[in-house]
């Protein structure tokens, strides 16, 4: 049977799988660089902090004073906040959850999504450390402190880690969750991210603007690396679903599309 001269060969335009994999790594690196350059909201927040913009200064000082006073006068509340901040929502706990998710992805042979999750969380830690060192903002100095934390204040490492890890977990597990469970997971993730910020300000170890900066950096980083992952899917001819609805790799769903041969 003779092929019609005008009929294109199927998938002729697709790059080889090895080439696409190499480009995935390049895209992840480019995404981190682009994120660092384009973090405009965080840069604007820093300008306002450094210029001691009165509205932001009043917000920081007022929130720190009111929440710290309330916590100091209620030992039971203080105990709960310490447990949440230093245990349930501790950055190590969050990273261990992502590490478990990476292990599950490797078991499911979702190699590239595992690389994406690990690279995103690793980059989050490195970016947070670098920004802290560059800004060198002092932590709140409150009378009769109820908690202490080492290092600089901006951004909040707890807030940034929570925003990064919770979003990564949602994008990984959304395909395998039923709609009702998916909604519940989003609620838990949202409460965790907001709760982390509240505990850090209430314990007097961060300003409110530190928490906001951590959220912006964490979410911005996930958005950048998710864009890189979606670009790899397009290059390999895979569908790119709405990430918040179906996750980054819908093939993980029990009744999802068949995973292409590796």
pLDDT tens digit sequence for 34-68: 565 556 677 778 777 777 788 888 888 888 888 88
Residues 64-76, mean pLDDT to the nearest whole number:
84
Of 11-15, 96-100, 155-159, 177-181, the poorest mean pLDDT is in 11-15
Q: Is 206 a catalytic residue?
A: yes
| Tokens matching residue 130 | 């670098």
| pLDDT value at 170 more than 70 | yes
Active-site entry in 52, 74, 148, 158: 158
Cα dihedral 35, 98, 204, 198 sign: positive
Residues 202-228, mean pLDDT to the nearest whole number:
88
Q: Is 65 a catalytic residue?
A: no
With a CB cutoff of 8 Å and minimum separation 6, the contacts of 246 are 174, 175, 253
The DSSP secondary-structure symbol of 140 reads: P
Active-site entry in 4, 52, 68, 206: 206
| Tokens matching residue 121 | 């969380």
| pLDDT value at 86 more than 60 | yes
Give percent above pLDDT 90 in the chain: 28
Q: Tokens 């599950």 — which residue?
A: 104
Residues 209-213, mean pLDDT to the nearest whole number:
91
DSSP reduced 3-state for 5: coil
Residue 204 near residue 60, CB atoms below 8 Å: no
């Amino acid at each position: 049977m003779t092929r019609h001269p005008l009929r294109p060969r199927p998938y002729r335009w697709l790059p080889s799988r090895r080439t696409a994999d190499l480009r995935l790594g390049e895209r992840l690196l480019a995404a981190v660089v682009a994120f660092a350059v384009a973090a405009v909201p965080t840069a604007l927040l820093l300008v306002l902090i450094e210029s001691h913009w009165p509205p932001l200064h009043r917000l920081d000082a007022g929130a720190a004073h009111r929440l710290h006073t309330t916590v100091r006068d209620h030992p039971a509340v203080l105990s709960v906040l310490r447990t949440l901040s230093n245990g349930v929502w501790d950055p190590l706990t969050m990273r261990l959850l992502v590490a478990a998710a990476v292990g599950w992805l490797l078991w499911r042979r979702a190699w590239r999504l595992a690389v994406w999750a690990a690279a995103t969380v690793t980059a989050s830690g490195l970016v947070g450390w670098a920004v802290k060192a560059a800004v060198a903002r002092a932590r709140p100095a409150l009378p009769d402190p109820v908690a202490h934390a080492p290092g600089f204040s901006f951004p909040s490492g707890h807030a940034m880690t929570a925003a990064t890890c919770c979003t990564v977990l949602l994008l990984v597990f959304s395909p395998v969750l039923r709609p009702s469970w998916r909604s519940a997971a989003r609620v838990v993730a949202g409460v965790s991210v907001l709760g982390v910020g509240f505990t850090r300000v209430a314990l007097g170890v961060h300003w409110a603007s530190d928490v906001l900066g951590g959220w912006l950096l964490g979410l911005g980083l996930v958005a950048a690396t998710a864009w890189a992952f979606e670009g790899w899917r397009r290059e390999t001819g895979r569908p790119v679903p709405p990430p918040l609805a179906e996750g980054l790799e819908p093939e993980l769903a029990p009744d999802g599309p068949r995973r292409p041969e590796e």
